[in-house]
Copies of this chain bind each other. A is one copy, B any other.
Amino acid sequence: MADRNAANLMGRGESLLFLTDDQLRRGIEAMFFAYRGFTADPDRILQEYGYGRAHHRAIHFINRSPGTTVNNLLSILGVTKQSLNRVLRTLVEDGLVDSRVGTRDKRERHLYLTEKGAGLERALSEAQRNRMRDAFRAAGPEAVAGFRAVLEQMMDPDMKRHYLDGGDSSR
């Protein structure tokens, strides 16, 4: 709202913001500290189960897209299949995830949360949603819109696909 001087040279309503290195540094540190807060509550829960963030990520995206394949999960998570496989194996062994051989293509494994897995998912996402909700409410609706707008710009373009996707990029 402040310096909008040299604006509107760029088609859309974007102002040519004068951003000092210090303002940008604040943004960088905000991301760092906020991400820590963002993961703190689930981390505590996971610790009780002997799991880590990798397990949380797998559980989250399986819940979002039931029946998704390992390969699809790989493209979302951006890790190697060997790394994901280890996490997935423990989740299957512990009875949180069900891995079903594909009917059309028997090379594929389709992933589903079991009742037990869905239970942990609820505990994790509830904790994370509570913090997110509190932050959104305290900051107000316009802030939420801005938050989402900036984060979306910060993503790698290929990832926006997974983000915008309502879910189910499987099958």
Contact = CB atoms under 8 A, between A and B. Distances in A.
Interface of A: 1-2, 4, 13-17, 19, 21, 24-38, 40, 57, 60, 64, 78, 125, 128-129, 131-156, 159-160, 162-163
Contact of A145 (B146, B154, B163): B146
A135 B148 contact: no
A156 B135 CA distance: 11
Contact of A24 (B1, B26, B129, B140): B129
A145 B17 CA distance: 13
Nearest to A153: B135
A31 to B, nearest CB: 5
A30 B141 contact: no
Contacts of A131: 154
Tell me the dominant secondary structure on chain A's binding face.
Answer: helix
A151 to B, nearest CB: 4
B151 A147 contact: yes
Nearest to A128: B28
A167 to B, nearest CB: 9
Contacts of A37: 154-156, 159
Contact of A140 (B32, B40, B147, B149): B149
B141 A144 contact: no
11 contacts: A1-B145, A2-B141, A15-B141, A16-B137, A21-B125, A33-B156, A33-B163, A36-B156, A38-B154, A135-B153, A142-B142
Contacts of A33: 151, 155-156, 159-160, 162-163
